[in-house]
Every structure is written in C-alpha cells, then in structure tokens.
Amino acid sequence: MNEKQRSILLQSSTHFPPPKGTKLSYGTAGFRADASILQSTVFRIGILAALRSLKTGGAVIGLMITASHNKVSDNGIKVADPSGGMLTQDWEPFADSIANAPDPESLVQLITEFAKKENIPIDGSKAAVVLLGRDTRPSGESLVEAANKGICCVIGAVAINMGIVTTPELHWMVRARNKGMKASEADYFHQLSTSFRCLIDLIPEKSGEDNDAIGKLVVDCSNGVGGEKLQDLTQKLNGFLQIEIRNSGGNSGGILNEGVGADFVQKEKLSPQGFGPSDVGIRCASLDGDADRFVYFTIILNGNNKINLIDGDKILSLFALFIKQQLTILEDSKKPSVGIVQTAYANGASTKYLKDLGLKVIFTPTGVKYLHGKAEEYDIGIYFEANGHGTILFSDLFLNCLEGIKNESSSTENGLEKRKAAKRLWAVGNVMNQGVGDALSGLLLVEGILQHMGWSVDKWNQLYDDLPSRQLKVKVADRSAVITTNAETCVEKPPGLQEAINSLIGKYRQGRCFVRPSGTEDVVRVYSEAETQEEADELANSVANIVQQFLG
C-alpha cells in the first residue's frame, strides 16, 4: 500500500467511528443489527468489497443493504461474489476483524496485512467495480452512501448504485455482468418472464386437472421490496399468470415484516395480515422482506387464522419430482448427476419422499452457504431450507447437453418428447436464480409446474404428510461447549450427551432429535420429530432437560 492510499483510508475512516461496546459478526446472513449502529460497518465492508474485486482480477462484486426478515429498525449488509453467490467463507474472518477494528490506525493495519497476504494490488494500478443495492428500509439510503464512501476510498474502485432491488436481483446482476451479459433490472425481468412462458408453452395438451380451475395466486409481499418488483414482473407476464398482490409496502400502510412475510407465516403457521376467511380455498404465497425466500399456504376454514403451510421442503419436493420426470423422458441420453441438499431441519417425511423417488439426498450443516456449496458439486443441485430459501443449480456441462438435445433433428414422437423435456429443463435453469435463493423466480417455477401437472395447491400438499415436529431453545452459559458432527446431527462434546439423547429417541415411534448450538445466541437449539405431535413435544422437552443437566 502506498502512502497516498494509506492517507485516504485513514482520513476517510475517521468519519465512521465504530459503535462502542458492540461486536458484530459476519454470518450466513452477513451483518445485521440496529440500523443506527451500522454506518461504520457498511463503510468498512465497502472497502472489503473493493478489495474483493481487486483480488478477483477486477470482477464485479455486489454489496446489498438489507436485513431481510428482521424488523424495520434493523438493517444489514451482504456481499455477493463474482459467481453471484455469497462471499467466500475464507473472507469472513477478515470481515469480522475490520468491522470490529477499534480505530482508523488498527483498521488500516489490518487492511495492509491482509492485502499483503492475499497479494491484492491496492496501489491504483488495477480497477475494481462494486454494485450497490438496498431494500426499502428508511435507513437504507444513508447506509448506501456510507458503503459508497468505503468503496471509493480504495484508489481505482468504482461504485455503481443499482437503487432499490431485491437481494436476488443484485446477485443476479453481479453474475450476469461477470458473464458479459446484459444485467439491468429489465434484463432480469425479461429472463424470468420469457423462461416462464416457455414452460407454459410446453404444457401437454391434457395434463391432470383443468388448468383453468387452478385460479389466481394471492401473494403477501411482507410490506417489503418484493411488492414493487412482483408488480413489475407481473406486467411482463402478459396475463400468463393471475396474481393479486397484498402487503406491498409503500403507501399500503403496513409495516415491514410486522405480522406479515414468509418468516412469520412459516414460524407461526398463521395467515399474515390482510388475509382472512374470504381467502379460504385460494392459493396463497408469502415472500420475506428482501424477497429471497418464499412459502405457500392455504387458509383453514374456521381455523382462527391457522393455515396449511407448504414450506421449503415441499417446494423442493415439487421441483425434484418435475425434474425427475423430465430426466426420465430423456432416458438414454447422458445422465446428469443429481443431488438434493437438505439440512437436519428438513422434515423426515420429505427426505423419505425424495429417497423413494430414487434421488440422492445429502445433508449439510445449517446455513445457505453450506447448502449452495454442496449443490454446486452436481450437474443438477437442488437445495431448500424449510424456511423457503433455496434454488436449483445447473452445471455448464449439463446446460450444453440440453442445448444439444434441443437442436436434434429427429422427427419421431420419442425425439419430439425428448426435445420438449430438454427445453423444459433449460427453462428451469433460466427461471431459477443460479446465484442465490430467489422468491420471484421460485414462485414462477412453482406456478409453471402446477400448471404443467394440472394440480391444485391441495394436490401438491398431498405429496406426503409432514411428521409432527417441535423446536425449542435451551438457554445455556456457554453454547460453544456443544460441538457437533455429521451435519450437526450428532453431539461430539460434551461426552455422554449424545448417548443420553439416543436413549430418549428410542422410546418414540419415528423418533428423531438433534441439538446444535445457536450461531447468534447463547442457546442450544433442540429439534424433534415423532409419529404424533404429543410425542414430538414430549421428546423435545425431555432432550431439553437433558441438555440443561449437562450444561447447567
């Protein structure tokens, strides 16, 4: 680092002192905290984003200001790597260290040492590009400005403000730019809408139930950025899909993530605000605050706002079934490797359903970064968490294979069907965001598959019956005392705890239970399943008591 660069960093960082008495950590969701204490953090992560661009040879990096499903007074920051995926885990410790550096001198020293270790040229000889985006939170504008100043205090770095966007949009834009593709919001909507229409055009003439009976989709947009963007996308669909938007934010009067949104619906199993008895029998969906996850639901008649939840596990199962069907049509063509990636929180009934389809199911620790990384190892990698965050990844090799099949000249009935299957799979790869979970693209694929199958939402929900489950939190003095293995399903330390859990599990029909330390709180999380809700509750409580005995 030359003296000019050092001077700029020192001078600029004096305007963004870190909050006292607060330690922030970059997790799966990046940094999140009350917006009032984040100015320093986003400034410093702006510097990190510029360094990341330099490290990757000037590739475009993304920086998104959002706190997703958190309350409106919170905000946060996520970094998108050149692939459109999340920031490489190797850089997370550096993010933590610079976010918590106590003063400008310490900050510049950390940057200097890291740049030297990583061979990053921060002397103005190379250019860096960072795309900036934010959701609709009131604090977003000032935080984008802080991030912009952080980026621009690295000589040769340029920040491009993409305005208000969903998190998946920004990830898509980063990936597209690095592939040399057009990458505006209009291009994003064009790719999603044309791929969706391709799926609709390829629906068999006679397909299950009457497609006209499927009816409209009503979407709760969490009073967040998804409302505006879904409205824009719907206009591009030219009537191919009937959507009614609620809780759209803006002037609708609702508060972001308050009694609305995918997180609320999935955890509480209640209908969001703005939904009621008149919606019984209607297919409904809910997005989270930055539109990177979604769930479906139907309202129960006289159910006191209770719902039938169709979560990420069932979304994954629908996608896996459709892809399996198309691969079966391709039959003797080169068989791609297919991996279904779940965490231990996936309902056991979903895992059994997927295995019964003949699909390979792999488990990873909790966190999208683990799921996404494992899915990338397959020609077709499908991952979803129960909370509705996930996507489908296609390898370049498989996409090239599909291109070849699409262009085959055979006029036999079998050849025509193969070409249609290849086109459907190609459309899936273009609808689904290849960088990160995307609620808008996921909605379109669900709707396309339901129309292809001729299925109502109730028929989809009957793929399998979830095993009753329960989640609990046990407050402990030191969560780090619990160390797990086997994708967090088995306790390694403290000794004897796993054996005690196993003895309890054996008392229950279809019993399953695991514990894991929280990544954010001093608690140990307990998850249980059993044949009945009463047994699942009893198992969870018994294991919670055992954890308390071991950890005090």
d(CA 429, CA 194): 12
Residues 314, 350: Cα–Cα separation, whole Å: 7
Question: 26 is written with which tokens?
Answer: 């970059």
Closest by CA position to 166, among listed 399, 394, 381, 438:
438
**Tokens linked to 223:** 């009073």
Catalytic residue among 68, 83, 248, 271: 68
CA distance 297 to 302: 15
Residue 68 appears among annotated catalytic residues: yes
DSSP 3-state assignment of 497?
Answer: helix
Nearest 5°: CA angle at 38, between 32 and 40?
Answer: 130
Peptide bond into 336 cis (omega under 30): no
Question: What phi-psi label fits residue 239: left (phi over 0), alpha (psi between -120 and 50 degrees) or beta?
Answer: left
Which is it for the CA torsion 61, 371, 457, 224, positive or negative? negative
299 phi-psi bin (left φ>0, alpha ψ -120 to 50, beta other): beta
- Residue 57 CB partners (closer than 8 Å, separation 6+): 126
Task: Tell me the C-alpha distance between 455 and 453, whole Å.
Answer: 5
SS (H, E, C) 258-325: CCCCHHHHHHHCECCCCCCHHHCCCEEEEECCCCCCEEEEEECCCCCCEEEEECHHHHHHHHHHHHHH
Measure the CA–CA gap between 202 and 325, rounded to whole angstroms: 14
Long-range residue pairs from 350-357, CB within 8 A, at least 24 positions apart, any chain: 350/313, 350/314, 350/316, 350/317, 350/464, 350/466, 352/464, 353/317, 353/463, 353/464, 354/316, 354/317, 354/320, 357/320, 357/321, 357/324
Strand partners, 128: 157
CA quadruple 10, 148, 133, 60: dihedral positive or negative? negative
Catalytic positions, please? 68
